[in-house]
Structures are given as C-alpha cells and as structure tokens.
Structure 1
Amino acid sequence: MLASVDPVPSLPGALPPALPDSWPPIARLAMLSGTCLLGVFAGLALAGGVIAVVWDVPLAGVAALLGGDAFHPHQRAIARTAQAVLHLAGFTLAPIVLLAFTLPTAAIGRWLRAQAHLPLPPMLAAVALTLVSLPLISAAIEWNAGWHFSGALTEFDQWMRAKEIAAQRLTTQIAQMDSVGELLACLLTLALVPAVGEELVFRGIVQPTLTRALGGRVHAGIWLTAVIFSAIHLQFLGFVPRLLLGAAFGYLYQWRGRLAVPIAAHFANNAAQVLLLYLSQRGALPGFDPDATTALPWPWVLASGGATAALLAWLHRGQMHAVAPAAAQPPPADA
C-alpha cells in the first residue's frame, strides 16, 4: 500500500518540499525524454483526430496545412489547435504521468500541495522582471541575430536559417489575430500552455535532476538547463536571449521553490510578445516591426539593465532557504 500524504511543513522561510527523486539522474532524464517524445506522438494523433472531426480535414492533409503548403478557411484555428494539443500532450500530461508512475504518492502529494500555494508578491515581481528586461533582451537579440557561420559550419548556418524561416512561417499562421477572440486564443496557445508545460519539464524536473548529477552545483544546474531549454527550440538566431530568460526562470525557481513564479515570468514574456503583435496588426503601433532584430536605444537598454538587476536583487534577498537538500534524498519507502 502506498504511503499516505504527509501534511506540508510550514516552517517560516523554508523552501517547499522538493520532489525526492531517488532515480539516477541519467535514468530520470532518459525516462523524461522518452515519455515526452511519446506524448508528442500521442498529441499528433489526437490533434489529427480533432482536426479531422471538427474541420473535416483528412489526416493526410493536416501536415500540408500546418506546413503552409495547403489552404483552409480555418487554417489559423487548426494551427492553434495542433500547437496546443501537442504542447499539452508532450510537455504537461506526459511528465505528469511519468512522475505518477515513478514517484511515491506521498512525495507527489506533498509537492503538489506546496505548489498549489501561489505566492503573489514574488509572482508579480517576476512579471515585472520580465517586462522591464525586454529592452535589455533586445540587445541580446540584435547581437545573436548577427551570427554567421562559415567554412566547415556553412551547412549548419544554412540549416539554422531554414529553421528560422520555418518557425516564422508557423508563427505567422498562428499569430495572425483579427479579433479579441483570436487574441485570447493566442494568449492561451502561445503564452499560457508553453509557460506551464516548459516550466514543469525544465525547471521542475530537468533542473533539479541536473543539479543532482553535478554534485549539487546549483548554478551549473541552472545554466545547463537553460542551455538545453534554449537549444531544444531549434531557433539558434534567438539562442542567447532565450538562454538568458531560461537562466532567469531557473533562479526564480531556485530562490522561491514554487513553479508558479517562473511560470508567471514565462507567461509574461510570451504574452507581451503576443500583445505587441496584436497591437501592431491593429495599427496601434505605427512604425513597430515585430520581426525587427535591432536593439532599442541604449538609454533604454541601460535603464532596463539597472531595473532588472534591482528586481533580481530583491527576489534573491527574499529567497527561501531549504531545510535540507530534499531533492538529493531518496523518497520515503511505501508502507
């Protein structure tokens, strides 16, 4: 019989209980990768079925629609549905199923009960951090967009740019918004769903697992997770800004111990881009180019850097402290 769920300790200033994972890090990461991949395949099948039933599109035609090689009157809705279902299946449901089958009920129960508490001030500070850092990130975007590889890496450079074009085509399909309803659909598909799923996988599972593998080196675990987080998007002309954001999300989770904090920051980053795109499409931002890779004026960048540093310092000063390195301890034995 599985052990019962223990009440969540309420020690002042203590981090919430971590998932006490006794699996070897390499095994945990292999299981996570395989489960997420299976989730993506299941999501493909489910999305294809939903699209076939709702919009009467044959399964063979779904790939052509998503690739921009065919047309349908409801093409944007189809693309959003596919994006949401794939992400939910691969990055949210799959890791939850994995945890349910590989960790004791008591461990998951303690973790979920702690995560259910939403710390409003840190969440608001995380949102503010994301928004005030946008000018600073624009400088990283400009620098990264200028990357060029030659010689032995010429083929990689061509592949990298082809992936950027393909990603831009898909984004154009999904993010064209002609109504408030479509704006809300994009906020759900492009902001909320990815924020929840990616933070669960990368900050909730990958980061503590890599930290264990690296002998408890927290900073190394955070930055290595951020590298993987950025690389897995396969958009290398945006690798550096995404790396910096991933590291920031990692520190938010490390300092506060609740996924709601990096989820709020991640959502704010994605939602800001969706809102700017919507306002641009409505003509409310004359002269604004959503595809531009030039940095904002340097006074803005410097002011953004100062505000970002101040918010990070505040969040760091208010960090909670772990009572014990729970993530490195084996789970309690089943009763």
Structure 2
Amino acid sequence: MLVPHGHGQSPQRCQYCGQPLQPHFYFCTACAMPHTDVEAVLPEVRPAQWDDETRVRKLAPEVWRLFFAYLGALLGATILGFLIHPVDEGGVPGLIIGLLSVAVVSTVFGWLHRDVLRPQFAGLGLLSPIMVKGLLGLAALLLVNLLWHGALWNLASEELRKDMYKDVTGLVPMVAGRVFLICVMPAVFEEIGFRGLVQTWLMRVIDPWKAVALSAALFSAIHFSVLSSPYLFLVGALLAWTRWKSGLLFPGILLHFLHNLAVLWYEGLLT
C-alpha cells in the first residue's frame, strides 16, 4: 500500500493519490483511503492503576464474602444468645453459639478453597526461628493484655465478675471443655479463616504489610469489642506476621492457643 521514495528519508506517499502520508493517521488525509491497520497507529493502552481497595474488591472478592459470612453468623449468634439468656444480653450462650458458627463458616470456606490451604499445612514449622520470635512477641502482648484488661477488669464490680465466672463455669463445667471451646476451636478455625484464607488472598493482590494490617483489622472487627479492639489488632498482626514469614498455619495456631489459654488462666477459668 505504501510507495517509498528515496532511501527512506522522504515521506511515504499514498499509492492512490500520491500525497504524503501522515504517520499518525491510518488513512490518507488527502483522499481518505486507508493505508494500514488502525491498531498500528493507536497509542499503547496501559491498564488502569487501581488503588488497594479496588484491587481487593476486584481481584480478591472472596475476602469480603468470608468476612461478611463471619459477620452474619456472629450477629445471628448474638441474637440467639439474647433470646436464650436476655438478662446479660446473650452473654456466654451467645459466645458459645458464636464460636460454633465461626467453626461452621471456616469449615465451609476451607473446604471450598482447600487448594489455598493445602500448602499451608505442608509442614509444622514449630521449631523455626519464626516460631521463637512469635513466642517472644506473644509474651510481650500478654504483658500488654495483663496491664490493659487488668485495669478494665478492676473497674468492674465484684458482683459482675462473679456473675461472669458463674455463667462460664455453669454452662461449661469441665475445664477440658472450656479449653477446647475457648482455646482449641478459635485457634484452629480463626487461623484457617483469617490467616489461611483472608490473608493469603490479600497477599496475592496488595503489599504483604498491608495484607497483615488489613487481615488484623478484620480479625479485630469480628470480636465486637470496642475496648479490646486495639489489643486484638496487635494479636491479629502478630499471627498474620507469623503466617507470612513461615508460610504455614501451625505456628499461628499454637500461638493463638497459648494466648487464649493464658487468658483463661488469668481469669481463673482453669480450676
């Protein structure tokens, strides 16, 4: 279609009308006859630069599906607990139902996305340097917990503290049952949900540190505790960091278990 002149230094001309061709047009501006494909003169189209919120929403929608599934299950557990025991707005019955509902949601999503979880159960990682650092971080957080929640607990009335212990020990009389319900179940099912699935999905689309922070924030949010939310965020961040650096779930599961066990001991529920 093009008729070159000279040694390539003269402008190319249209073979129909002989007028010089403009390099930025796919047709001759004199006679309007096309001389090349339109794609050849179009500027390169670059993909849109998404912000982190858009990347998560478009590339990792499972994060919000799982989070809202947890949220719905826990709200339902709270309402059911209130109906069972309206005196203290649900109290321990709501807590137990909530733990069971989290286990159900984690099991369903874990099975549907077992390909995401399988590599994270490929090893234990309990003797790794990451585990040692995680234990040191846990010790520091438990000290923070002792100071912060101890101060809040001391502000509560003695009658309220006795009622809380009575509810827990009354509904779960065996120590082994309390350990299983409050230590084992959250350690397994919350780690599968928040570190195994949510954090993994986030790390695929945003910076790892941002994924750690966001997964920790979501972990804190589902506990529905305004006073404890800063502390729970730190716990979630430690568990998320452990999962990121180790690539495995067992270190975080053990740290989570030990954390909840220490809380039970501090609140006098292991006797």
Short-chain TM bin: 0.5 to 0.7
In the alignment, the residues of structure 1 paired with residue 171 and residue 268 of structure 2 have an alpha-carbon distance, to the nearest angstrom, of: 8
Identity %: 20
In the alignment, the residues of structure 2 paired with residue 170 and residue 254 of structure 1 have an alpha-carbon distance, to the nearest angstrom, of: 40
Matched letter for residue 177 of structure 2: A
Partner in structure 1 of residue 124 of structure 2: 118
Partner in structure 1 of residue 66 of structure 2: 32
TM-score by length of 2: 0.60
Partner in structure 2 of residue 65 of structure 1: 84
Q: 1:140 to 1:39 in 2, by over 3 A?
A: closer
Higher relative contact order at CA 8 Å, sep ≥6: structure 1 or structure 2?
1
Query: Once the 2 structures are TM-superposed, how far is the Cα of residue 112 of structure 1 from its aligned partner?
Result: 2.3
Matched letter for residue 217 of structure 2: V
Partner in structure 2 of residue 276 of structure 1: 266
Matched letter for residue 103 of structure 2: L
Q: 1:80 to 1:171 in 2, by over 3 A?
A: same
Q: 1:67 to 1:169 in 2, by over 3 A?
A: farther
Structure 1 residue aligned with 2:214, among 211, 215, 224? Answer: 224
Contact 2:187 2:257 in 1 (8 A): yes
Structure 2 residue aligned with 1:94, among 98, 108, 118? Answer: 108
Q: 1:234 to 1:96 in 2, by over 3 A?
A: same
Q: 1:238 to 1:115 in 2, by over 3 A?
A: same
TM-score by length of 1: 0.50
In the alignment, the residues of structure 1 paired with residue 135 and residue 125 of structure 2 have an alpha-carbon distance, to the nearest angstrom, of: 13
Provide the aligned length of Structure 1 versus Structure 2. Answer: 205
In the alignment, the residues of structure 2 paired with residue 80 and residue 229 of structure 1 have an alpha-carbon distance, to the nearest angstrom, of: 16
Q: 1:205 to 1:174 in 2, by over 3 A?
A: farther
Partner in structure 2 of residue 175 of structure 1: 168
In the alignment, the residues of structure 1 paired with residue 240 and residue 183 of structure 2 have an alpha-carbon distance, to the nearest angstrom, of: 18
In the alignment, the residues of structure 1 paired with residue 81 and residue 235 of structure 2 have an alpha-carbon distance, to the nearest angstrom, of: 33
Q: Deviations over 1:160-200 (max 9, x none)?
A: xxxxxxxx999646533799x62111111111101111111
Structure 2 residue aligned with 1:211, among 190, 203, 212? Answer: 203
RMSD of aligned alpha carbons: 4.0
Query: Once the 2 structures are TM-superposed, how far is the Cα of residue 275 of structure 1 from its aligned partner?
Result: 2.1
In the alignment, the residues of structure 1 paired with residue 80 and residue 113 of structure 2 have an alpha-carbon distance, to the nearest angstrom, of: 35
Query: Once the 2 structures are TM-superposed, how far is the Cα of residue 206 of structure 1 from its aligned partner?
Result: 1.3
In the alignment, the residues of structure 1 paired with residue 191 and residue 97 of structure 2 have an alpha-carbon distance, to the nearest angstrom, of: 20
Partner in structure 1 of residue 177 of structure 2: 185
Partner in structure 2 of residue 297 of structure 1: none
Q: 1:263 to 1:114 in 2, by over 3 A?
A: closer
Contact 2:82 2:94 in 1 (8 A): no
Matched letter for residue 33 of structure 1: F
Unpaired runs of at least 5, structure 1: 1-22, 45-59, 101-106, 146-167, 283-335
Q: 1:222 to 1:170 in 2, by over 3 A?
A: farther
- Note if 1:244 corresponds to 2:241: no
Which protein shows a greater Rg?
2
Query: Once the 2 structures are TM-superposed, how far is the Cα of residue 136 of structure 1 from its aligned partner?
Result: 3.5
Matched letter for residue 94 of structure 1: V
Q: 1:194 to 1:257 in 2, by over 3 A?
A: same
In the alignment, the residues of structure 2 paired with residue 94 and residue 177 of structure 1 have an alpha-carbon distance, to the nearest angstrom, of: 31
Unpaired runs of at least 5, structure 2: 1-56, 153-160
Q: 1:241 to 1:79 in 2, by over 3 A?
A: closer
In the alignment, the residues of structure 2 paired with residue 61 and residue 245 of structure 1 have an alpha-carbon distance, to the nearest angstrom, of: 28
In the alignment, the residues of structure 2 paired with residue 34 and residue 61 of structure 1 have an alpha-carbon distance, to the nearest angstrom, of: 18
Q: Deviations over 1:53-82 (max 9, x none)?
A: xxxxxxx99753344469xxxx97x66753
